[in-house]
């Protein structure tokens, strides 16, 4: 099976390289058919998915390690290229390769005719390669290769249309750069966390670190020197900083909405199945280390709950269909952080899986709508599309209801389990997490209902030209939407909770890798869990009814509410002006420091003036010496003789 493990990322790397070569040859005049590019682009993800499924079928209760070669010498030991496969890895592999394959198929129709068609698929294959390296990695250094690789590819894909404007003040290239820089801030914390782990345990291997922590927990409970907190807390918070960057949590969430500058399939791949889940994966993988620090776990779960509610309120006020989905992603990732912060890693991963299906469907569905609307993304100019786009409407509606948490669709099972874990925990702040989680669920139902009703219900508000050309997307796109909608409807049954007569099969499977003792100590509280589930469903239903009341029955109500609460609305619509705050408090001071001190004083005055002054001195000396060049041979001979005499005199003195 070692060969199969290495083949999974290799297929994607070969695809990226071959497509990159074709793109280069096309610039030299070679004609490359789009059909050939499509087949080549899809083959890598398909083969990787088949290999991942084979691993899933053969994984036992123990981890499986595929050894490669020695890579980096650290002290007296080597850091190897080594991949690890366990239950958590298998789930992540199936999500990344499965959803990734569907997005590649969808992209063959969506990107058809684009001038960068080959380049796009080369970047997309490379993105998946790095994500697979990340989830397969056996140690932090290998994981960091994938971690940085997905960051690089996100920059390339978000800024894919680098010659276009994303907003009136930001180009797509700038949006890509913003994502890259914000992630570097988080990565600084991640690197410090890695170094602190190596200094403490002497290893970067996940398995060896787990064994070290189990044998020496007291080492991580000692003071770290970082503000008096324990080593476990310091490491946990540093890793969390990296996770907030990748998974767009407070305070580093600002890059994700601007990632909408890229093509819609990129948004689906980044937001549904790959990059944004990396932070959740790392915190879940390091659950055994976070468990030593209640402080770190409280911080993780609190940040998740605040982010879920914060982003949910913003999503309710956005008019760009992709921006609504972007902030909904930030909010749903917050739920996952609540779960991993409570130690319920399998529950977080289950929500990751269900989210991958319904969010990919929603993003690709929005792409189908944008494609039909001639690149219009403002929902205020849509409406009435259900008749012209019945498949897109049906699939997006199923996914929206699933995300809202209506049973028996998948979002109900995963979100309800997170809310239950928030309510029933021993960290002392469960009531706070549960209230914010329920409030975020209410927001989710409202903005999902608002999106569906504004896009597909009522009459079309587009211009006459757009109305005349409205049409359903090609089968390469609608087929993918159908598969994803079916997944969004049914995948929840993989983890039916105990209070509904199930056995939590998915959680039991993942817990074998990350938290094997959980189910051994399962305590049945069926009545309480069932009551909370009913409450969460009622909240979701009320939210959908509010959206229907505002955007279908009486569409004048939103304007009336906005008029009464103009200041609050503008604050939320402007994303609480967090970007403006960062601009005033971080960006502008740094620019002033760079221009006023580093450039004008140090660069121009100190460095440039010193160099120019020295040049002036030598220029003056050169001019003086040049005056001695008279052209008279007698003068030159006399100078030579004087010079020889001085040399001889120096030798004998």
- pLDDT tens figures, 495-524: 998 888 888 889 889 988 887 665 544 555
User: Is 375 a domain residue?
Assistant: yes
Rounded CA-CA distance 475/38 in Å is 15
Q: Rounded to an integer, what distance in angstroms lies between the CA atom of residue 110 and that of residue 97? A: 19
354 inside domain:
yes
pLDDT, residue 465, reads: 83
Residue with tokens 């052209």: 631
Task: Report the pLDDT value the prediction gives residue 223, as an integer from 0 to 100.
Answer: 75
Per residue in 404-454, pLDDT (tens digit) is 999 999 999 999 999 999 988 877 788 899 999 999 999 999 999 999 999
Asked if the structure places residue 138 within a domain, the reply is: no
Report pLDDT for 225.
63
* Same-domain check for residues 558 and 585: no
Answer whether residue 416 is part of any domain: yes
Is the Cβ–Cβ distance between 212 and 203 less than 8 Å? yes
What total of structural domains would you count in the chain? 2
Do 450 and 418 share a structural domain? yes
At residue 401's C-alpha, the angle toward residues 396 and 406, to 5°, is: 160
Q: Tell me which residue range forms the domain holding 636.
A: 578-651
On average, the pLDDT of the chain sits at 90
Place of tokens 């960091």: 144
Sequence-separated (6 or more) residues with CB below 8 Å from residue 335: 304, 308, 348, 351, 415, 418, 437, 440
Residues 485 and 458 in one domain: yes
User: Would you state the pLDDT for residue 148?
Assistant: 94
Please check whether residue 161 is in contact with residue 123, taking contact to mean a CB–CB distance below 8 angstroms.
Answer: no
Cβ burial 336-356 (10 Å sphere, 16+ → b, else e): bbbbbbbbbbbbbbbbbbbbb
Instruction: Give the end of a domain, one of 514, 547, 573.
Output: 573
**pLDDT beneath 50, residues of the chain:** 520-521
Residue 349 resides in a domain: yes
Q: Which of 609, 639, 614 is nearest to 625 (CA)?
A: 639
Q: Flag whether 590 is in a domain.
A: yes
Cα–Cα dist 278/96, whole Å: 11
Instruction: Count Cβ atoms within 10 A of the Cβ of residue 619 and give its class: 0-12 exposed, 13-18 middle, 19 or more buried.
Output: exposed
494-497 LR contacts (CB < 8 Å, sep 24+): 494/350, 494/353, 495/350, 495/413, 495/414, 495/417, 496/413, 497/413, 497/416, 497/417, 497/420, 497/529
The strand pairing partners of 84, in sequence order, are: 65
pTM of the model: 0.90
- 330 and 453 co-located in one domain: yes
87 is a domain residue: no
Burial string for 402-414 (b: 16+ CB within 10 Å, else e) reads: bbbbbbebbbbbb
Backbone angles phi, psi at 160, to 5 degrees: -55, -45
- CA gap 351, 128 in Å, rounded: 21
Residues 449 and 551 occupy one common structural domain: yes
Could you give the percent of the chain with pLDDT greater than 70? 97
Same domain, 583 and 554: no
Residue 453, token pair as written in the block = 């009703």
The pLDDT value given to residue 338: 95
Last residue of a domain, one of 573, 602, 635: 573
* Tokens found for residue 552: 């279908």
Tokens at 331, concatenated? 């909010």
Q: Are residues 331 and 478 in the same domain?
A: yes
The answer to whether residues 421 and 470 belong to one domain is yes
The pLDDT value given to residue 272 = 77
| Residue 549 and residue 599 in one domain | no
Chain centroid to Cα 500, Å, comes to 33
| Cα–Cα distance measured from residue 166 to residue 118, given in angstroms and rounded to the nearest whole number | 22
Rounded Cα gap, residues 359 and 415, in angstroms: 14
394 and 332 within one domain = yes
Domain membership flag for residue 604: yes
pLDDT score of 522: 52
**Same-domain pairing of 375 and 472:** yes
Write b or e for each residue in 559-589: b if 16 or more Cβ atoms lie within 10 A of its Cβ, otherwise e: eeeeeeeeeebeebeebeeeeeeeeeeeeee
Same-domain pairing of 553 and 603: no
Please say which residue of 573, 596, 628 terminates a domain.
Answer: 573
């Amino acid at each position: 099976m070692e060969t199969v493990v290495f083949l999974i990322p290799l297929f994607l790397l070969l695809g990226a390289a071959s497509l990159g070569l074709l793109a280069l040859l096309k610039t030299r005049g070679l004609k490359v058919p789009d059909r050939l590019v499509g087949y080549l682009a899809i083959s890598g993800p398909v083969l990787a998915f088949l290999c991942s499924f084979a691993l899933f079928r053969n994984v036992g209760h123990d981890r499986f390690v595929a050894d490669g070669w020695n890579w980096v010498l650290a002290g007296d030991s080597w850091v190897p290229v080594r991949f690890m496969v366990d239950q958590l890895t298998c789930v992540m592999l199936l999500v990344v390769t499965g959803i990734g394959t569907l997005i590649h198929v969808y992209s063959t129709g969506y990107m058809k005719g684009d001038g960068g068609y080959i380049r796009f698929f080369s970047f997309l294959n490379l993105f998946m390669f790095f994500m697979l390296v990340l989830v397969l990695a056996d140690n932090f250094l290998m994981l960091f290769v994938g971690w940085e690789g997905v960051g690089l590819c996100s920059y390339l894909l978000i800024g894919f249309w680098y010659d276009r404007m994303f907003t009136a003040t930001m180009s797509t290239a700038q949006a890509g750069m913003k994502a890259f820089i914000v992630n570097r801030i988080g990565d600084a914390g991640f690197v410090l966390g890695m170094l602190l782990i190596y200094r403490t345990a002497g290893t970067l291997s996940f398995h060896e670190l787990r064994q070290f922590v189990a044998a020496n927990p007291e080492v991580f409970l000692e003071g770290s020197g970082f503000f008096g907190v324990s080593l476990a807390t310091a490491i946990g918070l540093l890793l969390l900083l990296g996770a907030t960057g990748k998974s767009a949590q407070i305070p580093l969430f600002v890059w994700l909405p601007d990632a909408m500058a890229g093509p819609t399939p990129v948004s689906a791949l980044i937001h549904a199945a790959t990059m944004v889940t990396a932070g959740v994966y790392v915190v879940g993988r390091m659950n055994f280390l976070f468990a030593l620090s209640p402080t770190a776990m409280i911080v993780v779960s609190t940040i998740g709950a605040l982010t879920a509610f914060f982003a949910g309120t913003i999503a309710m006020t956005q008019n760009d269909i992709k921006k609504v989905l972007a902030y909904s992603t930030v909010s749903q990732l917050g739920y996952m952080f609540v779960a991993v912060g409570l130690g319920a890693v399998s529950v977080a991963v289950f929500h990751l899986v269900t989210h991958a299906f319904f969010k990919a469907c929603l993003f690709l569905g929005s792409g189908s709508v944008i494609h039909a609307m001639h690149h219009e993304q403002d929902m205020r100019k849509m409406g009435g599309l259900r008749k012209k786009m019945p498949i897109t409407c049906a699939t997006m509606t199923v996914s929206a209801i699933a995300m809202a948490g209506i049973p028996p669709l998948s979002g109900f099972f995963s979100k309800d389990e997170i809310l239950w874990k928030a309510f029933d925990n021993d960290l002392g702040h469960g009531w706070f997490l549960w209230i914010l989680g329920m409030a975020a669920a209410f927001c989710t139902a409202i903005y999902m209902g608002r999106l569906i009703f504004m896009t597909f219900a009522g009459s079309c508000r587009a211009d006459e030209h757009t109305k005349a050309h409205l049409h359903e997307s090609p089968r390469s796109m609608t087929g993918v939407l159908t598969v994803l909608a079916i997944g969004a409807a049914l995948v929840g049954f993989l983890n039916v909770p105990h209070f509904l007569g199930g056995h939590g099969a998915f959680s039991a499977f993942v817990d074998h890798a990350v938290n094997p003792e959980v189910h051994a100590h399962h305590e049945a509280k069926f009545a309480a869990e069932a009551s909370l589930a009913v409450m969460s469903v009622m909240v979701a239903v009320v939210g959908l009814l509010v959206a229907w009341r505002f955007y279908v029955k009486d569409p004048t109500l939103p304007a009336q509410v906005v008029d009464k609460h103009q200041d609050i609305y503008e604050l939320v619509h402007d994303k609480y002006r967090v970007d403006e705050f960062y601009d005033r408090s971080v960006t502008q001071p740094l620019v002033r420091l760079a221009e006023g001190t580093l450039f004008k004083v140090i660069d121009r005055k100190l460095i440039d003036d010193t160099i120019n002054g020295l040049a002036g001195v030598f220029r003056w000396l050169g001019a003086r010496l040049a005056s001695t060049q008279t052209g008279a041979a007698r003068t030159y001979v006399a100078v030579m003789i004087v010079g020889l005499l001085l040399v001889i005199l120096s030798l004998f003195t």
